[in-house]
Amino acid sequence: MRRCEGLRAEIQVLKTSNEELRNGMLALKEEAHSLKARIAEMVQRADFLSARSDAKSAKEAADSLREEVVSLRDIVSAREEALGGMREENARLRERIEDLAPRSDLVRRRPKP
């Protein structure tokens, strides 16, 4: 009987230990579930932060390109103005050449001394 009582006591200790381990395991499972939920939230937040960072970079790039376009427009305007001046000069020179062309024909026709 003593042996039965000893075994019963040991069984009771093992049951208590088993119950404690089971409760610990359930607590760990709950903590794992909670951590998985937090990780999922962090991933969403990381995606959001990444998208926000990408949007900020794209805005900065767009602003830079906008400034470059304004600068290039100014350069194009200046060159168009210079081109207009060159075309006017070209037209004046063309008229002078046309005025001088008949004189050079006359010079060629003159008899040589």
In the chain (113 residues long), the average pLDDT of successive 10-residue segments reads 84 90 93 90 84 91 93 93 94 86 64 67
pTM of the model: 0.44
Per-residue pLDDT, 3: 81
Taking the C-alpha atoms of residue 19 and residue 11, their distance in angstroms, rounded to an integer, is: 12
Per-residue pLDDT, 7: 83
Per-residue pLDDT, 101: 67
For residue 25, the number of C-alpha atoms closer than 13 Å in the C-beta half-sphere is 6
Tell which residue, 32, 65, 57, has the closest CA to residue 49.
Answer: 57
